[in-house]
Amino acid sequence: MACLDTDIMVALLRGEEKAINKIAALEFIEPLSTTPLNATELFKGAYRSKFSQENVIQVQNLLSNLKILDYDLESARQSAQIIEKMRKKGKTVGDMDSIIAGIAIANNESLVTRNVKHFKRIPGLKVIKW
């Protein structure tokens, strides 16, 4: 499965052709998912927007078509391991992104993102650029 990062879902909600085409191509091959953290980021943006009611509905509709991966014990372990490995290397990724990566790794998913430079540094994370 392919785990969608927030950036591709925001682009999809905005109607960006590149995001629409990438998601259509991925959907043809495999089921799509995202993490609870990415869902939180989408809802946060929707609630902050000028047209919050409409945007919350759009986010809800998008997320209802995706599998929302669990943030379970294995995901927590993977996330903590990422944070510590990156700290030892003197590189930071940020806790939220480390948790997103940990969830993807624990579920054996590739992360679909534009932020390849950032996420590629995480050992064991498969990244798909869009």
Signed CA dihedral, 71, 88, 115, 117: sign only: negative
Architecture of domain 2-71+109-129: 3-Layer(aba) Sandwich (3.40)
Q: How many CB atoms lie within 10 A of CB 101?
A: 30
Say which residue, 1 or 7, is predicted with more confidence: 7
Q: Give the Cα separation of 91 and 39 in Å (integer).
A: 26
Average pLDDT over residues 79-108: 95
pTM for the structure as a whole: 0.93
Signed CA dihedral, 19, 26, 129, 40: sign only: positive
Average pLDDT over residues 76-99: 94
Residue with tokens 């997320």: 63
Indicate the pLDDT class of residue 91, thresholds 50, 70 and 90. Answer: confident
Indicate the pLDDT class of residue 3, thresholds 50, 70 and 90. Answer: very high
What are 20-61's pLDDT values in tens digits?
999 999 999 989 999 999 999 999 999 999 999 999 999 999
126-129 and 2-4 beta bridge pairing: unpaired
- What is the percent of the chain where pLDDT is above 70? 100
Q: Give the Cα separation of 12 and 9 in Å (integer).
A: 5
Indicate the pLDDT class of residue 67, thresholds 50, 70 and 90. Answer: very high
- In this model, does residue 105 exceed pLDDT 90? yes
Q: What is the DSSP string of the chain?
A: -EEEPHHHHHHHHTT-HHHHHHHHHHHHHS-EEE-HHHHHHHHHHHHHSTTHHHHHHHHHHHHHTSEE----HHHHHHHHHHHHHHHHTT----HHHHHHHHHHHHTT-EEEES-HHHHTTSTT-EEEE-
